[in-house]
A and B are shown apart, each in its own frame.
Chain A
Amino acid sequence: MDLTKLTIVQAGQGLRKKEFSAVELCQAYLDNIEAKNKDVFAFLTIIKDLAMQEAKKADDLISSGAKLPALAGIPMAVKDNILVKGVKCTAGSKILEDYMAPYDATVVSKLKKQGVIILGKTNLDEFAMGSSTENSAFGPTRNPHNLSRVPGGSSGGSAAAVAGDMSVFALGSDTGGSIRQPASFCGLVGLKPTYGAVSRYGLMAFASSLDQIGPITKTAEDAKIVFEAISGKDKLDSTSVSMESSPEKMIKPSQIKAGIPREYFIKGIDPEVEKAVKSAIEKYEKAGVKIIEVSLPNTQYALPAYYIINPAEASSNLARYDGIKYGLSKEGKALLDVYLETRGQGFGAEVRRRIMLGTFTLSSGYYEAYYKRAQKVRTKIIQDFKNVFNKVDVLFTPTCPILPFKIGEKIEDPLSMYLVDVYTVSVNLAGLPALSLPIGQVNNLPVGMQIIGQPFEDIKILELAKAYGA
Chain B
Amino acid sequence: MLSKKEVQHIAKLARLSLKTKDEAKFQKELSSILDYIEQLKKVDISNIEPTSHPFSIKNVVRPDEAESKRYNLLESAPKTKDGYIKVKQILK
CA distance A329 to B51 in the complex (A): 36
- Which parts of B20-69 form the interface with A (CB within 8 Å)? 26, 29-30, 32-34, 36-41, 43, 45, 48-55, 57, 60, 62
CA distance A379 to B51 in the complex (A): 5
CA distance A102 to B75 in the complex (A): 9
Chain B contributes a number of interface residues (CB within 8 A of A) equal to 50
Cβ of B13: which chain A residues have Cβ within 8 Å of it? 359, 363
CA distance A99 to B54 in the complex (A): 32
Check if B5 is an interface residue, CB within 8 A of chain A.
no
Is there contact, CB below 8 Å, between B37 and A196? no
Known: A344-B16, A359-B13. A382 touches B33 (CB 8 A): no
Cβ of B40: which chain A residues have Cβ within 8 Å of it? 301, 304-305, 308, 373-374, 377
Check if A347 is an interface residue, CB within 8 A of chain B.
yes
CA distance A372 to B60 in the complex (A): 25
Cβ of B36: which chain A residues have Cβ within 8 Å of it? 304, 307, 415, 418
Known: A102-B73, A241-B57. A360 touches B26 (CB 8 A): no
Residue of B nearest to A237 (CB): B60
Residue of A nearest to B38 (CB): A304
Is there contact, CB below 8 Å, between A379 and B30? no
Cβ of A235: which chain B residues have Cβ within 8 Å of it? 62
Cβ of B12: which chain A residues have Cβ within 8 Å of it? 340
Check if B18 is an interface residue, CB within 8 A of chain A.
yes
CA distance A13 to B12 in the complex (A): 57
Cβ of B45: which chain A residues have Cβ within 8 Å of it? 373, 376-377, 380
Check if B10 is an interface residue, CB within 8 A of chain A.
yes
Is there contact, CB below 8 Å, between B15 and A322? yes
Check if B81 is an interface residue, CB within 8 A of chain A.
no
Is there contact, CB below 8 Å, between B85 and A324? yes
| Interface-central residue, B18, B37, B73, B78, by most chain A CB under 10 Å | B37
> Which of A48-56, A124-132, A139-147, A330-338 interfaces with chain B?
A330-338
CA distance A15 to B50 in the complex (A): 52
Check if A357 is an interface residue, CB within 8 A of chain B.
yes
Check if A291 is an interface residue, CB within 8 A of chain B.
no
Known: A375-B52, A376-B48, A414-B33. A356 touches B17 (CB 8 A): no
Residue of A nearest to B12 (CB): A340
Is there contact, CB below 8 Å, between B15 and A339? yes
Known: A324-B87, A379-B49. A359 touches B54 (CB 8 A): no
CA distance A429 to B55 in the complex (A): 10
CA distance A423 to B53 in the complex (A): 20
Residue of B nearest to A335 (CB): B88
Cβ of A332: which chain B residues have Cβ within 8 Å of it? 88
CA distance A298 to B45 in the complex (A): 12
Is there contact, CB below 8 Å, between A455 and B85? no
Known: A102-B76, A343-B15, A353-B29. A376 touches B55 (CB 8 A): no
CA distance A146 to B15 in the complex (A): 40
CA distance A363 to B36 in the complex (A): 19
Cβ of A335: which chain B residues have Cβ within 8 Å of it? 87-90
Binary interface encoding of chain A residues 38-75 relative to chain B, with 1 for a CB under 8 A from any of its CBs, else 0: 00000000000000000000000000000000000000
Check if A195 is an interface residue, CB within 8 A of chain B.
yes
CA distance A323 to B85 in the complex (A): 11
Cβ of A418: which chain B residues have Cβ within 8 Å of it? 33, 36
Whole-angstrom distance between the Cβ of B28 and the nearest chain A Cβ: 10
Cβ of B2: which chain A residues have Cβ within 8 Å of it? 360
Known: A307-B36, A326-B78, A353-B30. A344 touches B17 (CB 8 A): yes
| Interface-central residue, B12, B19, B51, by most chain A CB under 10 Å | B51
Is there contact, CB below 8 Å, between A356 and B14? yes
Q: Which residues of B are in contact with A by a Cβ distance under 8 Å?
A: 2, 7, 10-19, 26, 29-30, 32-34, 36-41, 43, 45, 48-55, 57, 60, 62, 71-73, 75-79, 85, 87-90
Query: What are 7 A-B pairs with beta-carbon distances under 8 A?
Result: A102-B73, A301-B43, A305-B40, A344-B16, A352-B26, A376-B49, A414-B29
Nearest 6 Cβ contacts at the A-B interface: A431-B54, A344-B17, A375-B50, A329-B78, A326-B76, A238-B60
